[in-house]
């Protein structure tokens, strides 16, 4: 996955069967999405078409805070778990402070912008 995320052509040239690997990745991801949807529906007691709206922002934020590069090929699962933990802690702190829920999205967006800016800065400094 790292090799394909970093440079798919280089991974293919080095002997990785990219088509088969991508197929496996998409199948595993689909199964994980199905399990997550099932658990979310079980948690809320029902399902609707708009149930997961807004969760993509949280997923992106958790990954970028956890060190996953927007350019690909960099990141670890423990880093993502720490990023999600930090992001959820931020949301809980904002809730306890009594911040308007609409401002939570603003703060989340700012955190994402800062994390991506730091990632881009690190990427440019590496070149």
Q: Could you list the residue range(s) of the whole structural domain that residue 89 is in?
A: 54-127
Give the pTM.
0.67
Q: What is the pLDDT of residue 26?
A: 94
- 62 and 47: one domain? no
User: Residue 122: CB partners within 8 Å, gap ≥ 6?
Assistant: none
- 88 and 39: one domain? no
- 116 and 99: one domain? yes
- 29 and 74: one domain? no
- 58: nearest Cα among 119, 20, 123, 115: 115
Q: What is the pLDDT of residue 73?
A: 67
Q: What is the mean pLDDT of the chain?
A: 85
pLDDT in tens, 10-53: 888 888 888 999 999 999 999 999 998 899 889 888 888 788 78
- 113 and 63: one domain? yes
């Amino acid at each position: 996955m790292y090799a394909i995320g970093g440079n798919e052509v280089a991974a293919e040239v080095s002997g990785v069967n990219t088509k088969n690997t991508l197929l496996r990745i998409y199948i595993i991801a689909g199964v994980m999405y199905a399990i997550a949807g099932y658990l979310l529906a079980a948690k809320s007691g029902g399902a609707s078409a708009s149930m997961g709206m807004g969760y993509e922002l949280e997923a992106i934020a958790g990954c970028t805070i956890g060190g996953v590069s927007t350019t690909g090929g960099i990141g670890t699962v423990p880093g993502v778990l720490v990023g999600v933990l930090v992001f959820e802690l931020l949301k809980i702190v904002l809730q306890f402070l009594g911040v308007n829920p609409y401002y939570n999205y603003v703060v989340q967006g700012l955190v994402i912008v800062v994390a991506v800016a730091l990632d881009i800065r690190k990427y440019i400094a590496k070149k």
